[in-house]
Copies of this chain bind each other. A is one copy, B any other.
């Protein structure tokens, strides 16, 4: 059976065939199948107008820029070709034959030149279009594979144009890339498009503005979020939850400065191995300081502020620390990729023999916390020793064994990311899946035997001897900023009750109901509910509409009837829920909040 990958790759050829028909003389780059579809790179910039009369190689330069409208034209041509049941015919030819065949295709010639000595080029012919390609491909556009027919004509769609450097190198010419989506069935394509649309609606940058949570301002700085009042409420809910939850688990909290002497990061090894993410130093009285890219050295210094005994270990040092890391302005994206963010950071200093137990606790606690926020699906990755590494092989092996042992014991499925560890040790990453099935890198648990060594950290063991501890770096949400971005997209802005910055609006039907509304409002506030009275001079329906836009979990309308029955007319996100007695309502939402 032809896999969807094969179909996608074959559609890339059909795309190129269609472009060749519509834009004769176009030069071809490459066109692979990719996740969810395919693309093909074209060079429209210079089109050789073949020899005119007897003049030798006279060329006319034609700058041709495609518009989204052109995509419809190309897609239409592709469908015409598919209907012709274009076949994919494979041939192996000599390099010389290939060079002749692609003599007007400089990019293909480059690829032929690069073929290993003795390797013969493979080509695929589909109608008038021939591509240098190793395949495999479908049999033909109407009969995809032997003995079985499958409809592809309605299961693909061209989506967008982009610029792409030949071979991804910015020194090379910029080609035009045409992207297409392709699935096995029309339904799958439509589902995918629906999710895409949904994702656009959930864009946290749009929601953040609409709900007045945060803003960016180019005059303030690129990639530096400003938190507005409602955003601060949301941050505080999350941060207070973490503080309470982790304090119960024995974490101790630190606050450290945003700058520190550069030497600290020279000692830690970051200045050598992480410099591209660090900002340039600031000189203060002949000494160099740097915006902290991480909190670790400060936590080490606090650990070292006194002699530590084995009795104190494991020691859990946590900080909601705002760090600054350089990112190219081109890759910045709302809250999910910024230049300053707040890590829910912690360092666990433990004896080597405590490692497994600590890792177990961390994984359990991390998954529990993520679940509380509504993320129940995730992929786990175990990243092993990279090419450049510090420490002894024995330490690496033992740490990786511990990580594997713990994952096994907790019956957690995981994938190995071979060589994906940090230079100082292996790690476990948890990528959460949001409600649209998208992955978000989030929690990370990293074993580190490098920093304790470099900073010469010690503890006194039971025999009174100095020993080197191990350190675990861990962040559960990763970055508070990023996590809030993910939360907004996951819930499309309709955060669960416990996270809603405004939980309830009390809406009096008319002015004469204000007194009762005020009473209800006060009663709710006393119960620590985040509530607001909406007594502006506007219609009830307008206020309800506004409440829905603002994704308020509960709108309570109060009029004559409600006053008489000591009740409220409840409108939740599910719709009208009828009239409920005030005490019953409070009881109900208190339960909802506790449940989380």
- Do the beta carbons of B261 and A220 come within 8 Å of each other? yes
- Do the beta carbons of B215 and A227 come within 8 Å of each other? no
- Do the beta carbons of B285 and A282 come within 8 Å of each other? no
Of B220, B301, B305, which contacts A298 at CB under 8 A? B220
Binds B, one of A52-60, A115-123, A145-153, A321-329: A321-329
Residues of B within 8 A of A226 (CB): 254-257, 298, 301-302
A257-B219 CB under 8 A given contacts A282-B282, A326-B284? no
- Do the beta carbons of A219 and B282 come within 8 Å of each other? no
Of B225, B252, B255, B282, which contacts A235 at CB under 8 A? B255
Is there a chain B Cβ closer than 8 Å to A260's Cβ? Answer: yes
Residues of B within 8 A of A231 (CB): 255
Q: How far is the CA of A287 from the CA of B280 in the complex (A)?
A: 12
Of B236, B252, B329, which contacts A229 at CB under 8 A? B252
- Do the beta carbons of A301 and B264 come within 8 Å of each other? no
Chain A contact surface mostly? mixed
- Do the beta carbons of B232 and A264 come within 8 Å of each other? no
Distance in angstroms from A224 CB to nearest chain B CB is 4
A283-B282 CB under 8 A given contacts A220-B261, A340-B259? no
- Do the beta carbons of B284 and A220 come within 8 Å of each other? no
Is there a chain B Cβ closer than 8 Å to A72's Cβ? Answer: no
Residue of B nearest to A230 (CB): B252
Please, what's the 1-or-0 string for A397-441, where 1 marks a CB less than 8 Å from any CB in chain B? 000000000000000000000000000000000000000000000
Is there a chain B Cβ closer than 8 Å to A568's Cβ? Answer: no
Of B259, B285, B301, B328, which contacts A219 at CB under 8 A? B301
- Give me the interface of A with B, judged by CB distance under 8 Å: 215, 217, 219-222, 224-229, 231-233, 235-236, 243, 252-261, 263-264, 279-280, 282-285, 287, 289, 291, 297-298, 301-302, 305, 317, 322, 324, 326, 328-329, 339-340
- Taking A219-B263, A279-B282, A279-B284 as known contacts, 4 extra A-B pairs with beta carbons closer than 8 A to each other, sorted by chain A number, are A219-B264, A220-B260, A221-B261, A225-B257
List 4 A-B pairs, minimum CB-CB distance, nearest first: A229-B252, A227-B255, A224-B257, A232-B253
